[in-house]
Structure 1
Amino acid sequence: MNNDISSSQHFSYPFEVLQQIARDILGHARKGGASACEANVSDGCGLNVTVRQGAVETIEHARDKGLSVTVYIGQKRGHASTSDFSPQAIGDTVAAALSIARHTAADDCAGLADAELLATSFPDLGLYHPWELSVEQAIELAQGCEAAALASDKRITNSEGATISINTSRFVYANSHGFAGGYPLSRHSISCAVIATEHDNMQRDYWYSVARDATDLESINDVGKKAGMRSIARLGAKKIATCEVPVLFEAPIASSLIGHFTQAVSGASLYRKSSFLLDSMGKQVFSPDIQIRELPHIRKGLASCAFDDEGVATHERSVVENGIVQGYFLGSYSARKLGLRTTGNAGGNHNLVLENATPLPFLDLLKKMDKGLLVTELLGHGVNGVTGDYSRGATGFWVENGELCYPVEEITIAGNLKEMLRGIVGVGSDRIVRGSKQCGSLLIERMTVAGH
């Protein structure tokens, strides 16, 4: 599969060369005594342009390439990689992987994915949309984005810059079961961060938009204006007293809660018994009206794919139904360790969407909360994946009578993820798509907010 790879000027090598390198790797491995082998060969390029105060700060051109090989001698595994595509380097890399395998202990769970699970159809998911911008055009767009932020309010007094990022890549994955597949990808973004000042108070905030296709990005003006207005809104932030109240996670950060759940029900955490959700299959983990679906074939999806990192076909599935866990996230190795079957998640999850039957507009979520804390930014990494204990620095807004009252800072929100996931009592309709996990704002029934 090679969804329109005619735009070869974006890459260093013709796609056919990547395919041939993958075949060469498999051939070297077979001749070297490997009983099985898999190879991944990739090539990519990018442009990042940042302006600050109207002047160009950085222009970065990037070209990346690499190959990795995993060989199996029986159930002994070896892995090696290189960024050198010369025939000598390819042969040396395979030889290194074979040497590692010969000195490694056998693992009865090691091996390629089962052949019958590999993808046999490759739908065009629209994942490749090169953004044809010159450096000059990218500079002009970044300047326009920053200018929109600075013009949003006279209290925007400084800027950390605006960035235009353009990235394209493609890859080939092949293994000794006879599987070979690959396709091009694109990912572009616009971002802006500015500083607002009032009296002696300074506040910073940002906004960004990311998409496969540049035509799906938020406008330059909107990204800049949102960055400016969010910074202004934080001026005059106060401290609050310690309390226990409902907490509303704004959509851009609410997806982090899905991330903690995903990590807890992923193979490595489960077979190592380092998860707060051990043996959660078929058990109530979320509030009863929460559904989470995995949708790997969304057109232009940021985490869409026809097959995972092992070539296993991906399928739409229900991960959480009525709050009850229906499935884990497993690759072949972790599935074998657990006595289960791979879910096609080697390499990660594919477009997880959390929703409920009655998503609410953001203002309605505030009304439902009545009194509590809206969190707009999380700080630090105080999350214990084994116990579920959760404690993170935060900034946001205090809410009274369902309305924003004033910004707050220097606070910590704390709870336990088991109780937090069960305590989701509201889901927003304000979903923002920025990665593999998608949801609107999430209202948690009660958390501890530590202030002064």
Structure 2
Amino acid sequence: MTQSPQDLCHALMDAAKKAGADGVDTMAAKGQSVSIEVREGALEHAERSEGIDLGLRVFVGRQQALVSSSDARPETLLAMAERAVAMAKEAPEDPYSGLADPSQLIQDWDLAAFELEDPAVEPAPEALKDDALAAEAACQAIEGITQVQSAGASYGSHSVHLAASNGFSGGYRRTSRSLSCVGIAGAGAGMERDYDGDSRTYQSDLRAAADIGRIAGERAVERLDARKPVTGTYPVLFDERISSSLIGHLLGAVNGASIARGSSWLKDNLGEQVLPAHLSVIEDPFRPRITGSRPFDGEGLPTQRREIVQDGVLTGWTLDLASARKLGLDSSGNAARGIGSVPSPSNWNIELTSGDQSREDLIRGMGTGLLVTSMIGSTINPNTGDYSRGASGFWVENGEIAYPVNECTIAGNLRDMLMRIIPANDARSYLSRVVPSLLIEGMTLAGN
């Protein structure tokens, strides 16, 4: 009989204790997924996968080791435990490693409130294929589309359980349903492509396949006959599709691991203004049906709603237990744990305060500048915040979109850039990172 993730975690923990571990934490993830891709009206690829992965971390004093496996046989669990303990005995001491004190652990939670699992039955492969075909057909119907590169639909269901020798044991199950389409317009050197897609916890929340295909096609056609923009200093509007990357750089700079290493351009700015005074960055792991929601972190601590930036002022770091101990602080309940990795600080759901203008209002007000809709590559200095990225999008003249542009570079310094952001009101509330389009005045643009 197949053991549950919870049973496997406790079996691993028992084996590690018998092998000589002073402390143990375990993780088991069991999942199944189905993905369908179509091309030219026919099935191109179908895949179904099922499996279970196990992670075991042991402590011998202040020495730790981690092993993982996808084999759940009893003899493998014993071998994992013995190997992990032997490895830990050879590892260097880490004064900051260790499990949470029992008093820090979450005591109870209501999983139903998070709505992480769609109660609807798993969709049949034929239903996934029909969605993918509908997206492909809608994309192909757009005038100017020469081919649909890909259209696909998928479904996944995953159960995760964590258990540790400090008394913690907890888990949850998630479902996901996604649909995407990539359209190609033009040919040869003038070929352009763009995409659209959606991913939700609940099937009923997923956007219509025809809308996704249509938008992918329209976006690809809009990019035809792109030029290089003029080099100079201009306002740059980061489209809502990619604007969350800017807030991502801020989140990376306040990550406790970076702060503990001293390798962050914000390491000396706690309690200081880092955004305009009317803007806040809120982390909320309790939003229903959102991928970043969870009741506890990877070390069994309760997650919490917190304002990372409050009215423009940086209020704290994102911490797991190890980084908190290094800094002499308390964990913020932000430990993320992978099967084959030790816990590390990570953010859950993030929301930046929205503005009171639409994206179109910001375009009208920016005069001449660049609307960025996609970016490639990056050169970002984590110590200084110097920022440089390849970009493409649309050139704006006299407050109106004039023509598509590509092969340009935008540059600045994140500290200065974030202090000048002007948000629109077009953020998608169902994403894990809710960030609207962001206008930044005076960025350096390298084109022709």
Q: Residue 348 of structure 2 aligns with which residue? A: 350
Tell me how far apart the structure 1 counterparts of residues 232 and 2 of structure 2 sit (CA, whole Å).
59
2:313 aligns with one of 319, 324, 328: 324
Residue deviations 1:343-375 (CA, integer Å, cap 9, x gap): 11111211010114x332111121232321100
Tell me how far apart the structure 2 counterparts of residues 198 and 33 of structure 1 sit (CA, whole Å).
64
Give unpaired runs (5+ residues) of structure 1: 1-11
Distance 1:196 1:159, change over 3 A: same
Tell me how far apart the structure 2 counterparts of residues 35 and 280 of structure 1 sit (CA, whole Å).
39
Give unpaired runs (5+ residues) of structure 2: 337-345
2:109 aligns with one of 114, 122, 125: 122
Please say if 1:160 is aligned against 2:155: no
Tell me how far apart the structure 2 counterparts of residues 346 and 62 of structure 1 sit (CA, whole Å).
28
Distance 1:200 1:39, change over 3 A: closer
Q: Does the aligned pair in 2 maintain the 1:335–1:342 contact within 8 Å?
A: yes
How far apart are residue 82 of structure 1 and its match? 0.7
Q: Does the aligned pair in 2 maintain the 1:285–1:325 contact within 8 Å?
A: yes
Please say if 1:145 is aligned against 2:135: yes
How far apart are residue 111 of structure 1 and its match? 0.2
Moved more, 141-150 or 104-113: 104-113
- For 1:255-404, what aligned pairs fall within 5 Å after superposition? 255-347=244-336, 348-356=346-354, 358-404=355-401
Match for 1:391: what amino acid?
Answer: S
Q: Residue 183 of structure 1 aligns with which residue? A: 172
Q: Residue 442 of structure 2 aligns with which residue? A: 446
Please say if 1:416 is aligned against 2:413: yes
Q: Does the aligned pair in 1 maintain the 2:122–2:155 contact within 8 Å?
A: no
How far apart are residue 145 of structure 1 and its match? 0.4
Residue deviations 1:417-449 (CA, integer Å, cap 9, x gap): 11111121x212211367532211111122111
Match for 2:32: what amino acid?
Answer: C
TM-score, with length taken from structure 2: 0.94
- For 1:231-270, what aligned pairs fall within 5 Å after superposition? 231-270=220-259
Q: Does the aligned pair in 1 maintain the 2:182–2:195 contact within 8 Å?
A: yes
Tell me how far apart the structure 2 counterparts of residues 283 and 113 of structure 1 sit (CA, whole Å).
30
Q: Does the aligned pair in 2 maintain the 1:157–1:195 contact within 8 Å?
A: yes
Match for 2:353: what amino acid?
Answer: E
What RMSD in Å do the two structures reach over aligned CA positions? 1.6
How far apart are residue 399 of structure 1 and its match? 1.0
Tell me how far apart the structure 1 counterparts of residues 13 and 32 of structure 2 sit (CA, whole Å).
26
Distance 1:13 1:297, change over 3 A: farther
- For 1:159-238, what aligned pairs fall within 5 Å after superposition? 159-197=148-186, 201-238=190-227
Q: Residue 39 of structure 1 aligns with which residue? A: 26
SS at match of 2:191: strand
Q: Does the aligned pair in 2 maintain the 1:314–1:344 contact within 8 Å?
A: yes
How far apart are residue 200 of structure 1 and its match? 6.9
SS at match of 1:381: strand
Distance 1:434 1:390, change over 3 A: farther
Q: Residue 111 of structure 1 aligns with which residue? A: 98
TM-score, with length taken from structure 1: 0.93
Q: Residue 62 of structure 1 aligns with which residue? A: 49
Residue deviations 1:293-331 (CA, integer Å, cap 9, x gap): 010000001100000111110111111011111121110
How far apart are residue 131 of structure 1 and its match? 5.7
User: 4+ runs of 1 displaced by more than 6 Å?
Assistant: none
2:37 aligns with one of 50, 67, 71: 50
Tell me how far apart the structure 2 counterparts of residues 431 and 66 of structure 1 sit (CA, whole Å).
36
Tell me how far apart the structure 1 counterparts of residues 388 and 431 of structure 2 sit (CA, whole Å).
23
SS at match of 2:10: helix
Tell me how far apart the structure 1 counterparts of residues 25 and 268 of structure 2 sit (CA, whole Å).
32
Tell me how far apart the structure 2 counterparts of residues 83 and 443 of structure 1 sit (CA, whole Å).
47
SS at match of 2:12: helix
- Count of matched residue pairs: 436
Tell me how far apart the structure 1 counterparts of residues 375 and 367 of structure 2 sit (CA, whole Å).
22
Residue deviations 1:181-224 (CA, integer Å, cap 9, x gap): 00100122111001112897321110111111111111101101
Tell me how far apart the structure 1 counterparts of residues 365 and 330 of structure 2 sit (CA, whole Å).
42
Tell me how far apart the structure 1 counterparts of residues 269 and 188 of structure 2 sit (CA, whole Å).
52
Q: Does the aligned pair in 2 maintain the 1:131–1:213 contact within 8 Å?
A: no
Q: Does the aligned pair in 2 maintain the 1:294–1:350 contact within 8 Å?
A: yes
Identity %: 38
Tell me how far apart the structure 2 counterparts of residues 168 and 199 of structure 1 sit (CA, whole Å).
41
Please say if 1:135 is aligned against 2:125: yes
How far apart are residue 264 of structure 1 and its match? 1.0
Tell me how far apart the structure 2 counterparts of residues 435 and 267 of structure 1 sit (CA, whole Å).
24
